[in-house]
């Protein structure tokens, strides 16, 4: 133990209390957090540490350091990925036998491995929504020059984002960061993603976890189509006549609708000035989430932010404050609507979902009960109805995804 080395930007002294002299596969149950694990080529365990949950992966020393640095770079580039905590080397068993190094990352709260999603009774279009999220993640990675090298559902974690999912990279072991990817590198990543996803969905079908109507190959093809459509929209050059300058603003608005901000546009004109060509040069994801963060301080997923901003706009219109300063209106909405709604949910039930997802689902429920009642149901009444009729029966996604404390699902532990 005296040779133990911890490499971390902010090492937690509590790490020293973990049983590093035992192979990870043999760690005692009382040390572990009962969370579902995805399929991995390495031994992975979850541990509660200093009020949070960390993921520990046994891996070769050089690979561990390389993945740690790659994850740090991806975080700096604001790409959705797990947060690296550190690398621990110099492990030895009591008999002096060397043990593998480990990579430590933070567990992504409210995230779900794809097998956990399919183990629950979700709608048949779940596969399509996961593929959509993975396509967006892959485009974001490629835009910053990251070649993944092993794109799959297994190497991704998913968080609910309003009616969709947001995808996070969880395994960068085979990745590489470049100034810019070649078309060949991008094509290889996309083709590998298609092959892996078809295989993973076929595996789910064999385990009777996939709806019988799902066509695995068509979903793999849909990933390729969605990726190419999104990549083209974000990067293609567009030409138009010089008297159609409104199309510059329309292009930016279209990109904003997809959730991307344009940091820079290249605009060129012909010598005679009859036509104009534009091309986005810097495209940053998170248009709506950045705006919501600026207005309210809420840091949420992109589609959740879009939904919350729509409710903020409705609040502004309902209170006849269109001419008031946007920041002041946002402050009042945050205190009087968003926070008041979350506080109205019993404390022991709030941990079931992220606050933004909770608010989104209450808005959906309010629309549903208003339709049924034939009147506009107040938010407070809708919240009580949602808590009693929906939330109490929802699994706790923050902790064990529907399992009782300490209980394990053998299917998810595979």
pLDDT at 399: 42
Residues 221 and 251 in one domain: no
337 belongs to a structural domain? yes
Residues 174 and 202 in one domain: yes
Q: Please tell me the distance from the alpha carbon of residue 164 to that of residue 66, in angstroms, as a whole number.
A: 32
Residues 231 and 243 in one domain: no
Domain boundary residue among 80, 106, 132? 106
Residues 90 and 176 in one domain: no
Which domain CATH number covers 98?
3.30.200
Residues 120 and 231 in one domain: yes
Residues 373 and 318 in one domain: yes
408 belongs to a structural domain? no
334 belongs to a structural domain? yes
414 belongs to a structural domain? no
CA nearest to 354, candidates 76, 145, 165, 117: 165
pLDDT at 35: 65
Q: Are 303 and 162 in contact (CB under 8 A)?
A: yes
Q: Please tell me the distance from the alpha carbon of residue 284 to that of residue 129, in angstroms, as a whole number.
A: 22
pLDDT at 266: 85
Residues 276 and 368 in one domain: no
Looking at the whole model, is its pTM more than 0.95? no
Residues 229 and 140 in one domain: yes
Residues 281 and 304 in one domain: no
User: What domain count does the chain have?
Assistant: 4
Domain boundary residue among 59, 76, 106? 106
Instruction: Identify the domain containing residue 344 by its residue range.
Output: 291-393
Which domain CATH number covers 159?
1.10.510.10
Residues 153 and 97 in one domain: no
Q: pLDDT per residue over 103-133, tens digit each?
A: 999 988 888 888 777 655 445 577 788 888 9
406 belongs to a structural domain? no
pLDDT at 38: 56
412 belongs to a structural domain? no
CA nearest to 5, candidates 82, 67, 75, 64: 64
- 22-26: list long-range contacts, CB under 8 Å, 24+ apart: 22/93, 23/58, 23/93, 23/99, 24/56, 24/58, 24/100, 24/102
Which segments in the chain show pLDDT lower than 50? 1, 121-122, 399-414
Residues 306 and 364 in one domain: yes
409 belongs to a structural domain? no
pLDDT at 407: 38
Residues 24 and 85 in one domain: yes
400 belongs to a structural domain? no
Q: pLDDT per residue over 50-86, tens digit each?
A: 888 899 999 999 999 999 999 999 999 989 999 999 9
């Amino acid at each position: 133990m005296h040779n133990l080395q911890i490499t971390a930007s902010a090492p937690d002294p509590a790490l020293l209390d973990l049983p590093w002299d035992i192979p990870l596969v043999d760690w005692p149950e009382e040390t572990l957090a009962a969370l579902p694990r995805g399929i991995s080529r390495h031994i992975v365990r979850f541990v509660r540490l200093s009020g949070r949950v960390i993921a520990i992966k046994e891996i070769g020393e050089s690979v561990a350091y390389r993945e740690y640095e790659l994850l740090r770079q991806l975080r700096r580039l604001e790409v959705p990925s797990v947060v690296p905590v550190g690398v621990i080397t110099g492990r030895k068993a009591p008999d002096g036998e060397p043990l593998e190094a480990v990579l430590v990352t933070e567990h992504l709260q409210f995230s779900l491995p794809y097998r956990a999603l399919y183990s629950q009774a979700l709608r048949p279009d779940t596969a399509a929504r996961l593929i959509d999220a993975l396509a967006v993640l892959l485009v974001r990675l490629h835009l910053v020059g990251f070649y993944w090298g092993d794109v799959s559902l297994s190497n991704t974690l998913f968080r609910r984002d309003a009616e969709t999912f947001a995808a996070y990279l969880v395994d960068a072991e085979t990745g590489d960061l470049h100034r810019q990817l070649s078309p060949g590198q991008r094509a290889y990543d996309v083709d590998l993603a298609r092959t892996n996803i078809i295989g993973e969905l076929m595996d789910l079908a064999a385990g009777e976890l996939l709806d019988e109507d799902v066509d695995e190959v068509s979903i793999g093809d849909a990933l390729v189509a969605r990726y190419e459509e999104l990549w083209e929209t974000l990067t293609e050059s567009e030409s138009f006549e010089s008297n159609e300058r409104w199309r510059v603003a329309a292009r930016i608005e279209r990109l904003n609708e997809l959730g991307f901000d344009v940091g820079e546009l290249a605009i060129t004109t012909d010598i005679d000035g009859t036509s104009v060509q534009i091309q986005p040069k810097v495209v940053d994801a998170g248009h709506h989430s950045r705006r919501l963060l600026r207005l309210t301080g809420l840091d949420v997923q992109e589609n959740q932010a879009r939904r919350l901003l729509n409710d903020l706009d409705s609040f502004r219109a309902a209170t006849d404050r269109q001419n008031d300063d946007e920041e002041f209106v946002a402050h009042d909405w945050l205190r009087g609507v968003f926070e008041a709604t979350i506080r109205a949910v019993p404390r022991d039930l709030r941990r079931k979902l992220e606050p933004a997802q909770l608010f989104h689902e209450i808005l959906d429920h309010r629309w549903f009960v208003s339709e049924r009642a034939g009147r506009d149901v107040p938010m407070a009444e809708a919240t009580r109805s949602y808590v009693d009729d929906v939330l109490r029966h929802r699994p706790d996604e923050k902790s064990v995804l529907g399992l009782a404390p300490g209980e394990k699902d053998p299917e998810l532990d595979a």
